[in-house]
Chains A and B, each alone.
Chain A
Amino acid sequence: MPVADASRSGAALAAPLGWARRGRGRTPVGLLALSAAIALLALAPVGFLLDQTLAGGWAEVERLLFRPFVGHLLVNTAMLVVVGTAASAVLGVAVAWLVERTDLPGRRLWAVLAALPITVPAFVTSYSWVSITPAVQGFWGATAIVTLAYYPLIYLPVAAVLRGMDPALEETARSLGLSPWRTFLRVTLPQTRVALLGGMLLVAIHLLSEFGAFAMLRFQTFTTAIYDEYKLSFDGAGASMLASVLVLLCLFLLVAELSARGRGRYARVDSGAARPAPPARLGHARWPALTGFAALVGLSLGLPLATLVYWVATGSSAGIDVSALLSACGTSLELGLGAAALTTLLALPISVLSVRHPSRLATLIERATYLPFALPGIVVALALIVLSLQHLPALYSSTPLLIVAYAILSLPLALVATRAALAQVPPIHEEVARSLGSRPLVALARVTLPRILPGLGAAAALVFLATVTELTATLLLAPIGTQTLATQFWAKASTFSYGAAAPYAALMVAISAVPTYLLTRRLGAVVRPPER
């Protein structure tokens, strides 16, 4: 290893990060302004919504919030979040441990199958179950179904940590006299803490945001109530008030996760060359484990897909409206591609700012754009409606506004991918290009852009995926006459036309399979170590 000249890094460490640091070059003002404007765009709607709600005064808050109905929603939502998140955590950790650290037969295949439910939108899964039996409606049914739909959000990050964990830690614990089970509780599980908490936060936020599944399962949460208040009674003020409560719940979750995460660094994030751990031997326990996996994959993936196939088959005997299907498909593709392009474009300057010119201001701007991601789509949609109605009526119920909503909701997805790609290109390459006579933007285009194209592709694919399966914001914001696969499916399914709904869901799942496939290959390229 070369002994790096520590003058630069040492100084950077010693000097506190300034608001706009002057260290490595000066932060270009244009870049800073552009990034700040994008962050403002992402935050403004929700800020405006909160402001409007509070502007009504305390009496209004009291009238709209202190009702038995709101109490009922709060209990429902809280129970759902607590039970659903806990169940997902247990399921996710168990699956992660079994596929990563045991000799479970066929564990490579199970590892893939167990991750796949994430590609089927929860409202489609719920539809499948409801079309079989109405018995799944209500709290326990709803909790079970969303747990099956969302546990991969915990399984995937925890599995990644288990895979990279240094087996010496567990071996040391065993040599100090701990039993395998106590080793798991005292050493293994704490190692996964950051990933586990992050995954639980994602599940909890998804549970707060989920609209379609709970509407289908006849279980009332804040999200379904906001939709009803807005759509059925056209009560903008009531909906805004409930949405504000939802925002507070989300903020509470964010803060709770942050404080639970603590200061310790658990994961071995550096030097990925840890020796693989010898798998635990399951022995006779492998039969119940295999049965459990078969049941899990059957319930979370097999049954929804089988139901879909069944309804497509029986529905098609009644005749599919092919032209409506194709038109909805075209609209979904257009919106998805538009959102992917816009969002990736918006993510680029913020990524450049935070990767190339890190400062406290840059971090603040970047983090600010993450906030709407933690907010339910319905809140962002409602905020955009209120904002456009009051200030930009021309935009109300227009396609551009819908695409902006998608962009706000999925900006962090694009940011994560572009950031990761950008961080792989050492700044020295741009510096060398500049010493060879290229102006800054030319250096970016000739040296950096060609190398982050896979990352930009991944960003676009992630956004496309999220957009095509997005239901709530689309229902609220889509211009009259604009029908996507998701809204058409919803229209049919909520009137119990299960057969008519199925082709839309099937097509939606098929379309999302393409970017998912590309992503599994592309993301591999993005996280590949930098070439020399």
Chain B
Amino acid sequence: MTGAATLAIEGLSKSFGRVPVLTGLELEVPAGTLTAVLGPSGCGKTTLLRTTAGFERADAGTIHLGETLLAGGGTHLAPERRAIGFMPQEGALFPHLDVAANIGFGLPRAERRGGRVEELLALVGLDGLGPRLPHQLSGGQQQRVALARALAPEPGLVLLDEPFDALDAGLRSQVRAEVRAALAATGATALLVTHDQEEALSLADRVAVMREGRIVQVADPRTLYRDPVDVEVATFVGDAVLLAARLADGFAETALGRVPVRGDAAAGGTATVMLRPEQIFVDDTSSAAGVRGLVTGTSFFGHDAIARVRLDGPEGIEVLARAVGQQLPGAGRSVRVGVEGSGLAFAGAGKAPASEGVVLASAP
């Protein structure tokens, strides 16, 4: 078996019947890193994983793992010859085998009951649970066994198919951290697919946003959140406030006043400017500066809260402002609205959604 290797996918296409699912997809996962593919349901993420694992045949394009050609140019390496670990949704442990036998499944016969299995059990924090049967484990434990099973043969790459989806919210962040630690400890290259933007941003070294069968942006989480390539990516990875603007000299004239912009700022003319709700602050003290508005409602999340503010003026534009919970003025209060930092400009109004103002992330 190989060590961690770089996955390189070029021009990958796959259709089911006449329905195209992957359309010329390009993606590189550097050795030893965790890349999350983030996309809405039906964008082809699972097909990408299954084609990489070799369960589906690619119609066109190539997949390389390290120096090895897995698929393309008439080659279709069988799944068992790819050295790619696969961790499916809900784990899919073999129910007739105990934990140790599950983990040892991919090892040569001689190693199945040896130290390697113990080592992996320790790696995922399940020492001593080897004799248990899968149904005697909690959901989170099953996921960790599934990961240990995938890592056992020291694959060049591990694929994780929405692995935390089946877990309750409370357990999810804990198992996420444990999986992250186990992957880091083995230095494995990992590719994870998810539709949960919070999961992708918090877990991955790099996030690839997938849409309609292709990757539209690959970046580290901070860059992706701050500088998405288009309005759709912007709204997919987080809540956004979109405002029509006129650009000049690196500034945008918007309903919230004059805001410094980056991105397509040089273009001039009309544009859409994206701001994150945490860049917008509200103040209900009478001496405050900024645009006038009325708080129409608040949502309290505990760690923070969001206020919905309708700006004074004929258009009745609404914006979102995020703040630490206790400090937000309640509904019905008159406030002043200001902006911190710079906005991201997207040239032209063409990409903007039909209505100006608040756009909530489409993620769950």
Q: A interface vs B, CB < 8 Å?
A: 2-8, 10-12, 14-16, 18, 22-26, 426, 428-429, 431-440, 443, 446-447, 450-451, 530-532
Tell me whether A439 and B80 are in contact (CB under 8 A).
yes
Which residues in A have their C-beta under 8 angstroms from that of B162? 2, 5
In the bound complex, do residue A15 and residue B16 qualify as a contact, i.e. CB atoms below 8 Å apart? yes
Asked if B42 is at the interface of the complex by the 8 Å CB criterion, the answer is yes
Of the candidates A11, A432, A434, the one whose C-beta lies within 8 Å of that of B78 is A434
Question: Contacts A2-B90, A434-B79, A436-B105 known; A451 to B96 CB distance under 8 Å?
Answer: yes
Q: Which of A2, A530, A532 contacts B142 (CB 8 A)?
A: A532
Chain B proximity of A308: nearest CB distance (Å): 43
CA distance A16 to B19 in the complex (A): 10
Chain A residues closer than 8 Å to B166, beta-carbon distance: 2
The 10 closest A-B pairs by CB, nearest first: A15-B17, A436-B106, A11-B16, A2-B165, A5-B46, A435-B86, A434-B79, A6-B42, A531-B95, A11-B19
Q: Is the CB of B42 within 8 A of A451?
A: no
Residues A25 and B80 in contact in the complex (CB < 8 Å), given A2-B89, A15-B19, A531-B134: no
B292 surroundings in chain A (CB, below 8 A): none
Alpha-carbon gap, A22 to B18, bound state (A): 12
Query: When the two chains form their complex, are residues B79 and A8 in contact, meaning their CB atoms are under 8 A apart?
Result: no
Q: Are A428 and B43 in contact (CB under 8 A)?
A: no
Q: Which of A5, A428, A440, A530 contacts B41 (CB 8 A)?
A: A5
User: Within 8 Å CB of B43, what residues of A?
Assistant: 5, 7
Q: Are A7 and B44 in contact (CB under 8 A)?
A: yes
Q: Residues of A contacting B293 with CB < 8 Å?
A: none
B150 touches A435 (CB 8 A): yes
**What are 19 A-B pairs with beta-carbon distances under 8 A?**
A3-B165, A5-B161, A5-B162, A5-B195, A6-B42, A7-B21, A7-B42, A7-B43, A14-B16, A15-B19, A16-B17, A26-B57, A431-B53, A434-B54, A435-B85, A437-B106, A438-B106, A531-B134, A532-B142
In the assembled complex, the Cα of A11 lies from the Cα of B82 at a distance in Å of 26
B300 within 8 A of A: no
Other A-B pairs, 11, CB within 8 Å; known A5-B45, A7-B21, A435-B84 = A3-B364, A5-B46, A7-B43, A7-B45, A24-B56, A432-B88, A434-B54, A434-B55, A435-B82, A437-B106, A437-B153
B16 touches A451 (CB 8 A): no
Choose among A3, A11, A22, A26 the residue that contacts B195 (Cβ–Cβ < 8 A). Answer: A3
Residues of A close to B246: CB separation below 8 A: none
Give residues 84-110 of B contacting A (CB, 8 Å): 84-86, 88-90, 92, 94-96, 105-106
Which residues from B are CB-within-8-Å of A22? 57
- Complex-state Cα separation, A22 to B21, whole angstroms: 14
Q: How far is the CA of A447 from the CA of B43 in the complex (A)?
A: 31
A25→B153 CA distance, assembly (Å): 24
Contact A436 B55 (CB under 8 A): no
The number of residue pairs between A and B whose CB atoms lie closer than 8 Å in the complex comes to 130
- Partner among A2, A432, A451 whose Cβ is within 8 Å of the Cβ of B92: A432
B50 in contact (CB, < 8 A) = yes
Interchain CA distance A105-B85 in the complex, whole Å? 58
A190 to B165, CA, bound (A): 40
Interface size on B, residues (CB 8 A): 50
Chain A residue at minimal CB-CB distance from B83: A437
Interchain CB contact under 8 A, B41 and A438? no
**How close is B92's CB to chain A, nearest CB, in angstroms?**
5
**Is B193 at the interface (CB under 8 A from chain A)?**
yes
Q: How far is the CA of A447 from the CA of B96 in the complex (A)?
A: 8
Taken residue by residue from 170 to 202, chain B's Cβ proximity to chain A (1 for < 8 Å, 0 otherwise) reads as 000000000000000000000001010000000
A393–B193 Cα distance when bound, in Å, is: 63
Flag if B44 contacts A25 (CB, 8 Å): no
Q: Which of B264-284 contact A (CB under 8 A)?
A: none
CB of B245, distance to nearest CB on chain A (Å): 35
Whether B149 is near chain A, meaning CB under 8 Å from some CB there, is: yes
- Give the CA-CA distance A450 to B81 in the complex, in Å: 24
Question: Does B135 sit within 8 A of A, measured CB to CB?
Answer: yes
What is the CA–CA distance of A450 and B106 in the complex, to the nearest angstrom?
17
Q: Write out the residue numbers on chain A whose beta carbons fall within 8 Å of the beta carbon of B78.
A: 434, 439-440
What is the minimal beta-carbon distance from A531 to any residue of chain B, in angstroms? 4
Q: Find out whether the CB atom of B79 lies under 8 angstroms from the CB atom of A435.
A: yes
**Option from B16, B84, B89, B161 in Cβ contact (under 8 Å) with A12:** B16
Separation of A437 and B153 alpha carbons in the complex (Å) = 9
Minimal beta-carbon separation of A98 from chain B (angstroms): 38
Question: B35 at interface (Cβ–Cβ under 8 A)?
Answer: no
Q: Are B149 and A23 in contact (CB under 8 A)?
A: no
Q: Which chain A residues lie closer than 8 Å to B193 at the CB level?
A: 5
Asked if A436 and B56 make an inter-chain contact with CB atoms under 8 angstroms apart, the answer reads no
Tell whether B6 is near chain A: CB-to-CB under 8 Å. Answer: no
Specify which chain A residues have a CB less than 8 angstroms from the CB of B105 in the assembled complex. 433, 436, 438, 446
Q: Chain A contacts of B45 at CB under 8 A? A: 5, 7
Which residue in B46, B80, B165 is a CB contact (below 8 Å) of A434? B80
CB-CB nearest in chain A for B165: A2
Is A428 touching B92 in the complex (CB atoms < 8 A)?
A: yes
Residue B47 at the chain A interface, CB threshold 8 Å: yes
> For window 10-61 of chain B, which residues contact chain A by CB distance below 8 Å?
15-19, 21, 41-47, 50, 53-57
Interface centre among A12, A436, A532 (most CB of B within 10 A): A436
The answer to whether A531 touches B106, judged by C-beta atoms less than 8 angstroms apart, is no
Complex CA distance for A362 and B232, rounded to whole angstroms: 43
> A532 — which chain B residues lie within 8 A by C-beta?
90, 95, 134-135, 142
- Cβ-defined contact, A11 with B106, below 8 A: no
Measured in the bound complex, the distance between the Cα atoms of B51 and A8 in whole Å is: 11
User: Bound complex: CA of A431 vs CA of B88, how far in Å?
Assistant: 9
Least distance between A492 CB and chain B CB atoms (Å): 48
Given the interface pairs A2-B90, A532-B134, the reply to whether A431 lies near B55 with Cβ below 8 Å is yes
A436, B149: Cβ atoms closer than 8 Å: yes
Residue with the highest number of chain B CB atoms closer than 10 Å, among A4, A11, A426: A11
B10 → chain A closest CB, angstroms: 20
Distance (whole angstroms) from the CB of A527 to the closest CB of chain B: 16
Q: Verify A450–B96 contact, CB threshold 8 A.
A: yes
A19 to B47, CA, bound (A): 22
- Rounded to whole Å, the gap between the CB of A24 and the closest CB of chain B is 7
B92 x A426 contact (CB < 8 A): yes
Cα distance, A15 to B21, chains bound together (Å): 12
A426 to B161, CA, bound (A): 15
- Which residue in A6, A18, A24 is a CB contact (below 8 Å) of B17? A18
Q: Are A7 and B46 in contact (CB under 8 A)?
A: yes
Min CB–CB distance A70 → chain B (angstroms): 51
B142 surroundings in chain A (CB, below 8 A): 532
CB proximity of B121 to chain A, nearest CB, Å: 17
Contact A14 B19 (CB under 8 A): yes
B106 touches A429 (CB 8 A): no
